[in-house]
Structure 1
Amino acid sequence: MMNAILFTMLGFGLMEFSGWFIHKYIMHGPLWSIHKTHHQPSKSFFELNDLFSLLFGSIAIILIILGVEHLDYRFWLGLGISIYGMSYFILHDVLIHRRLKWFDRPGNTFLKGIFKAHQAHHATNKKKDAVSFGLFIVPKKYFK
């Protein structure tokens, strides 16, 4: 049971780190043509940028399928990635960008800091001028 918890937490944590890295160096790099749709006003509910969610979700599903028979580390890593994805959807798409208006804007200090960091990230719609690429781990200055 302890391994299940540790691998689930590892999957979640790896997504925050790899998400930051991919966001900064790949989405704001060679795949900017896809990601820029997230930095531009949209008249549609979906953006081309949503393809990244399908990619990460596919990785989670593959890991879960590969590990489900024995409930090995792959299953729990996939579960951690899935929990991260669900958290990302609620925080990023629902609370921050209001793609679905299920809740009011965040009220607690932690969520307000994340919201401010994301606003700073979207202060530009250019490839190179963006800041704050993480979702849950953001610089302390946004919590003041």
Structure 2
Amino acid sequence: MNLLIILITFITMEGLTWTIHKYAMHGLLWVLHRDHHDHSNTGHLEKNDYFFIIFAIPSFALMYFGSQQGFNYLFYIGMGVTLYGMGYFFVHDIFIHQRISFLKNTQNPYLLAIRRAHKQHHKHTGKERGECFGFLWVPIKYFKMYFTKKQR
């Protein structure tokens, strides 16, 4: 049952991420997200990196309070959020933005589709007219680009 809670939370996080990215990060919180699009920050860290802390706080709170009550469902929801955050960091920061050179020359159609959709997202440097706000699931046209190419 606990594994199911983690899995459902992880899957649910994709929808939450899309919504938060589109309406909060490209809305009221654009002040923190802007440098991720226009590359105005010259250092290694961006204001956008504060989102790591912003999203980690509720995750850790859920795990803390869930562990204080005998490792109840709150703990496992926090675990699902944490695992999603770890996946996000790996795919977004390491794989897509190459903060650590890893899988740079992959031919995996799924990873190529994710990378391409993210490039489409970043072609807009302003907060309006954005597209592809998802993380692990992006519009099907990007998957078709690489999966059909792989089958030829």
Normalised by the size of structure 2, how large is the TM-score? 0.88
Query: 1:109-128, aligned counterparts within 5 Å?
Result: 109-128=109-128
Tell which structure's C-alpha radius of gyration is larger: 2
CA distance in 2, matches of 1:104, 1:72: 40
Which residue of the partner structure matches residue 61 of structure 2? 62
Count residues in correspondence. Answer: 142
Q: Which has the higher helix share?
A: 2
The structural deviation recorded for 1:106 is 3.6
Distance 1:136 1:43, change over 3 A: same
CA distance in 1, matches of 2:29, 2:54: 13
Residues 20, 133 of structure 1: 8 Å contact kept: yes
| Structure 2, gaps ≥5 residues long | 146-152
For structure 1, which segment, 57-66 or 36-45, has the greater mean C-alpha deviation from structure 2 after superposition? 36-45
Over the matched positions of the two proteins, sequence identity in percent amounts to 37
Matched, 1:51 2:50: yes
Normalised by the size of structure 1, how large is the TM-score? 0.93
CA distance in 1, matches of 2:81, 2:29: 22
Q: Aligned AA for 1:126?
A: G
SS at match of 2:27: coil
For structure 1, which segment, 97-106 or 39-48, has the greater mean C-alpha deviation from structure 2 after superposition? 97-106
Which residue of the partner structure matches residue 107 of structure 1? 107
CA distance in 2, matches of 1:105, 1:92: 16
Q: Aligned AA for 1:6?
A: L
Query: 1:6-25, aligned counterparts within 5 Å?
Result: 6-25=4-23
Residues 117, 132 of structure 1: 8 Å contact kept: yes
CA distance in 2, matches of 1:75, 1:98: 32
The structural deviation recorded for 1:104 is 2.6
